[in-house]
Amino acid sequence: MASRTASGLFEGWAEGSRPFRTLLKREVLRFMRVWMQTIAPTLGTALLYFTVFGIALGSRIQEINGVPYLEYLLPGIALMNVVTGSYMNTSSSVFDAKRERYIDEILISPMSDVQITLAYVLGGTLRGVIVGFGVFLVGVPFVGVSIEHPLMLLLIGALSAFIFSAVGVAAGALSNRIDHISFLTNIVIQPLAFLGGVFYSVDMLPHFLRVATFFNPIFHTVDAARYATLGVSDLNPVPAVAIVFVLAALAFFAAYLAIHRGPNLRS
């Protein structure tokens, strides 16, 4: 019985592999063809952050945890842009597909709901990784930082993009109006990013705010990325990385449920 079930799952996945690749390619081309709107503005914003927060405040805040302030900012700013870029990519894509009703063709294709979810999430993940890499390229000449653990940084960047790409899929599938996506962006995602230790160490906060920060998912991604880049962190890096893995699994499951049972997806 188990072997027949596994065989059926494999055959179902194989049947949907070609449309899966097609949807993934579409998601990648969707943001690559308009890179002046999806990638370039992010790099310009990163330059502004380095100028305003780095140069202006850097003259007053010399270092944090023994690291020059500009260097301390780099991984946090990169991760903040990874989060927002990956979330916006999938939330807008799924919502547009739902609003314009071409989601119907995707849902009746041979793809399973897992494949549909994964194609959207991987497309947003790639955008997030590209944005994060671009921010590092922009920032490194300013700060001259060397990356302590490059493979770990790549892993954390990809997982962070995966998490918020999946959150974007769920948001796009569950939202009934574009206002809902904007609300989540402006009221939830951006405040969590700014309060996620991007510009400061949690050791600088009062006790009650420090405890609250530990419940911020973006903080764990930023802290792990900072350790991978600079070798310093507010938390033990091993539990932080484990938390990021757990968040990735939970976010993907939530995105799958939203695609599988989301309102007004299957009319």
DSSP string, 24-69: HHHHHHHHHTTHHHHTHHHHHHHHHHIIIIIIIHHTT--EETTEEH
> 25 lies in a domain?
yes
Per-residue pLDDT of the chain (267 residues; tens, 9 = 90+): 444 444 544 455 555 688 899 999 999 998 998 888 888 888 888 888 777 776 666 666 667 878 888 888 888 889 989 999 999 999 999 999 888 888 888 888 888 999 999 999 999 999 999 999 999 888 877 777 678 899 999 999 999 999 999 999 999 999 888 888 888 888 888 888 888 888 888 888 888 888 888 889 999 999 999 999 988 888 888 888 899 999 999 999 999 999 988 777 765
Half-sphere exposure of residue 60, counting CA atoms within 13 Å on the CB side?
Answer: 4
- CA pair distance 225, 163, nearest whole angstrom: 14
What tokens were used for 80?
A: 């903040």
Instruction: Return the pLDDT at 58.
Output: 60
Instruction: Return the pLDDT at 107.
Output: 87
Cβ(259)–Cβ(98) below 8 Å: no
Find, among 96, 99, 100, 101, the residue nearest to 120 by Cα.
96
> 206 lies in a domain?
yes
> 7 lies in a domain?
no
Query: What is the four-CA torsion angle of 59, 64, 70, 73, rounded to 10 degrees?
Result: -130
> 1 lies in a domain?
no
Find, among 234, 183, 191, the residue nearest to 80 by Cα.
191
Q: How many CB atoms lie within 10 A of CB 36?
A: 8
Interval 231-257: pLDDT, tens = 888 888 888 889 999 999 999 999 999
Instruction: Return the pLDDT at 237.
Output: 84
- CA pair distance 84, 74, nearest whole angstrom: 16
The domain in which residue 130 lies consists of 12-261
Which parts of 39-149 fold into alpha helices (H)? 40-49, 57-58, 69-100, 103-107, 113-143
Half-sphere exposure of residue 126, counting CA atoms within 13 Å on the CB side?
Answer: 15
Q: Which residues pair with 68 in a beta bridge?
A: 63
> 189 lies in a domain?
yes
Q: How many structural domains comprise the chain?
A: 1
Residue 177: Cβ-neighbour burial (10 angstroms; 0-12, 13-18, 19+): exposed
Instruction: Return the pLDDT at 267.
Output: 57
Instruction: Return the pLDDT at 147.
Output: 85
> 179 lies in a domain?
yes
* Widest pairwise Cα distance in the chain: 68
Interval 84-116: pLDDT, tens = 999 999 999 999 988 888 888 888 888 899 999
> 2 lies in a domain?
no
> 134 lies in a domain?
yes
